[in-house]
């Protein structure tokens, strides 16, 4: 019994200062990790938006090759995804804009000269002539 008491008495724990420093260091490392994850997610969304816009631009170019003009603003999505007698569908489906919240479509405009602008919510833009 005396031996057990002596062993317990000689045991030393961490001081309050050591514990506080350890908690601060762990908190800083966790904050840095969370920041990097958030930045990586934003970069991933930007990459998806750019890839989707390139796919849509390629489909628009194929449509123009088949019909000699880009589709109108009112029916561009259906023109790219539906087949008619002249051509096959250019895309299975038009992807949603990943940089916007919810299920937002990309902005598609066609001016009087036939120039088409495809724009995402994050400001990325592709202009086709």
pLDDT for residue 27: 95
Phi and psi at residue 108, in whole multiples of 5°?
-125, 125
Task: Give the CA diameter of the chain.
Answer: 98
pLDDT for residue 88: 79
Q: Does a structural domain hold residue 32? A: yes
Residue 92, domain CATH? 3.30.700
Q: Does a structural domain hold residue 95? A: yes
Q: Does a structural domain hold residue 102? A: yes
Q: Does a structural domain hold residue 122? A: yes
**Ranges of the chain whose pLDDT falls below 50:** none
Q: Does a structural domain hold residue 27? A: yes
pLDDT for residue 28: 94
pLDDT for residue 10: 61
Domain tally, the chain: 1
Write out the residue range of the structural domain in which residue 124 sits: 16-128
Phi and psi at residue 107, in whole multiples of 5°?
-85, 130
Cα(65)–Cα(84) distance, rounded to whole angstroms? 15
Q: Does a structural domain hold residue 101? A: yes
């Amino acid at each position: 019994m005396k031996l057990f008491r002596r062993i317990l008495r000689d045991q030393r724990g961490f001081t309050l200062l050591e514990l506080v420093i350890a908690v601060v260091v762990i908190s800083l490392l966790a904050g840095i990790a969370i920041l990097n994850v958030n930045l990586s997610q934003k970069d991933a969304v930007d990459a998806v938006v750019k890839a989707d816009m390139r796919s849509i631009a390629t489909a628009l170019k194929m449509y123009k090759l088949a019909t000699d003009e880009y589709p109108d603003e009112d029916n561009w999505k259906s023109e790219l995804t539906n087949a008619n007698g002249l051509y096959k569908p250019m895309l299975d489906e038009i992807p949603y804009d990943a940089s916007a919240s919810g299920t937002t479509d990309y902005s598609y405009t066609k001016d009087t000269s036939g120039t088409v602008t495809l724009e995402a919510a994050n400001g990325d833009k592709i202009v086709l002539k």
